[in-house]
Amino acid sequence: MGHTPYGYKIENGKAVVDDEKAEQIKLLFEAYLSGDSLATAAKKAGIKAFHAGIGNILKNKKYVGDDFYPAIIDHDSFEAAEIERLNRAKKLGRIWEKKELIGSPTPTSFSIADGNKQFDDPFKQAEYAYSLIEMEVKNIE
């Protein structure tokens, strides 16, 4: 199944809430939603983890509950934390958006001319082999 998320434990093959850690998860969400940074919210909640680990807790949908995991966080709090996380990332310029490629079209077909020269120097041989490659660029518009 994989890693059991913080705040849960497995008993008799089922995920159950670890009450002490679940309270820490609730405090983490509350502190983060009140404006604290990830590190400050984690410190207030008593969770010792790195920045990315705290971010992963805030993004983990299992805390809302599913077929295996019981809910620790209500759906509204989870959604509010996700919106806040994305807003903060956007303000800091940390949201990667795919940029449109500008430039020459990609070669779409290659062929190689017959070559029969042999060189003792492997670099010259490679250079010669590459010089035999011909390409055709097709514009797709």
Give the chain's radius of gyration (CA, Å).
27
Q: Who's near 126: CB < 8 A, 6+ residues apart?
A: none
Q: What is the pLDDT of residue 139?
A: 57
Q: What is the pLDDT of residue 107?
A: 60
The first and second tokens of residue 121, run together, are: 């120097």
- Kindly report the backbone phi and psi dihedral angles of residue 48, in degrees, each rounded to the nearest multiple of 5, phi listed first: -100, 105
**pLDDT tens, N- to C-terminus, the chain (141 residues):** 468 999 999 999 999 999 999 999 999 999 999 999 999 999 999 999 998 999 999 999 999 999 999 999 999 999 999 999 999 999 988 887 777 777 766 666 777 778 788 999 999 999 988 888 876 665 555
User: Is it true that domain 8-91 has CATH number 3.90.1750.20?
Assistant: yes
Q: Domain spans of the chain?
A: 8-91, 107-137
Classify residue 90 by its DSSP letter.
H
Torsion of CA 82, 88, 89, 93, to 10 degrees: 160
For 123-134, give one letter per residue: b (16+ CB within 10 A) or e: eeeeeeeeeeee
The alpha carbon of 69 is separated from its chain's Cα centroid by a whole number of angstroms, namely: 22
- Helix runs in the chain, H state only: 19-33, 38-45, 51-59, 75-91, 122-131
